[in-house]
Amino acid sequence: MFHKEGHQIIFSALVMAIVLVLLGHFFVEIFWIQKTIQIGSIVSLILILQFFRNPKRISSINDEHVLSPVDGKVVVIEEVFEKEYFNEKRLQVSIFMSPVNVHVTRYPISGKVLYSEYHPGKYLVAWHPKASEENERTTVVLENEVYGKVLYRQIAGALAKRIVNYASVNEEVHQGNDAGFIKFGSRVDVFLPLDAKIKVSLNQKVKGGIDVLAD
């Protein structure tokens, strides 16, 4: 299954691959150039298909758990001052997504969307310390009665050129459901209450909608 954000790109890549394979077959006489064009076209199509894959996952719904919103590697676990929404100290867990990861964003908790804001910005590498505040990004705050408020932030990286965010203020959302997409490499920060019990460690690989970040 492929994410709807990739349907147009996948179709264009498929058409281009077919055209290049046929051109190479009928109009390029030098064997190694012909095969380079054909193999390169097919490899490019495969890379695009794997980037936009959207594996079906069944989340274990639990209002006491915060699930990872994305696939990737945990690169930050620290106490920080969150100044866009809370204006207070929070526990930050950051997950870096490489181009080979699934790039679907999923809601980390069920509840009501209190805040959803897009910010234009730079395209620093996703692991840069200032990426969370200076890069193109979206910030979403969710709340439920059990866990309280959780903020997650989609951050564009050096390769990411489009962030898709489906969260609308006052909407009721469900843990693990599709919340958006980030195209071509990025990171997601999650800001939790200070008393949250972190269930992941640095450099741990996590799966969106499956692995528990905190309870």
Report residue 4 as tokens: 């709807």
Asked whether residue 38 falls in the same domain as residue 80, the answer is no
Q: Is the pLDDT of residue 211 over 90?
A: yes
Tally: H helices and E strands in the chain: 3, 13
Report if residue 57 sits inside a domain: no
CATH number at residue 99: 2.70.70
Report if residue 140 sits inside a domain: yes
pLDDT at 200: 95
Asked whether residue 99 falls in the same domain as residue 124, the answer is yes
pLDDT, averaged across the chain: 84
Q: How many domains does the chain have?
A: 2
Confidence of residue 135 (pLDDT cuts 50, 70, 90): confident
User: In this structure, which long-range contacts are made by residues 11-17, counting pairs with CB atoms below 8 Å and at least 24 apart in sequence?
Assistant: 13/44, 13/45, 13/48, 14/45, 16/41, 17/41, 17/42, 17/44, 17/45
Question: Please, what sign has the CA dihedral across residues 168, 170, 174, 176?
Answer: positive
Pairwise CA distance, residues 74 & 62, whole Å: 22
Query: Which residues face 111 on adjacent strands?
Result: 173
Report if residue 56 sits inside a domain: no
210 Rama sector, left if φ>0, alpha if ψ -120 to 50, beta otherwise: alpha
Asked whether residue 86 falls in the same domain as residue 36, the answer is no
Which residue in the list 68, 110, 116, 186 is annotated as catalytic?
Answer: 186
Asked whether residue 76 falls in the same domain as residue 149, the answer is yes
Report if residue 59 sits inside a domain: no
Domain hosting residue 124, numbered range = 66-214
Report if residue 38 sits inside a domain: yes
Confidence of residue 184 (pLDDT cuts 50, 70, 90): low
pLDDT at 127: 57
Report if residue 60 sits inside a domain: no
Q: Is the pLDDT of residue 174 over 90?
A: yes
Q: Is 42 helix (H, G, I), strand (E, B) or coil?
A: helix
pLDDT at 139: 95
Report if residue 156 sits inside a domain: yes
Report if residue 148 sits inside a domain: yes
Asked whether residue 13 falls in the same domain as residue 96, the answer is no
Q: Which residue has the higher pLDDT, 205 or 22?
A: 205
Asked whether residue 43 falls in the same domain as residue 115, the answer is no
Active site residue 201: no
Asked whether residue 160 falls in the same domain as residue 185, the answer is yes
Asked whether residue 157 falls in the same domain as residue 209, the answer is yes
Nearest CA among 76, 56, 82, 95 for reference residue 141: 82
Q: Which residue has the higher pLDDT, 33 or 69?
A: 69
Q: What is the DSSP string of 69-100?
A: SSSEEEEEEEEEEETTTT-EEEEEEEEEE-TT
Largest CA distance in the chain: 68
Asked whether residue 113 falls in the same domain as residue 184, the answer is yes
Asked whether residue 94 falls in the same domain as residue 177, the answer is yes
Asked whether residue 23 falls in the same domain as residue 106, the answer is no
Asked whether residue 99 falls in the same domain as residue 179, the answer is yes
Cβ-contact 92, 190 below 8 angstroms: yes
Q: Can you tell me the mean pLDDT for 80-108?
A: 91
pLDDT tens digits, one per residue of 55-87: 778 777 888 899 999 999 999 999 999 999 999
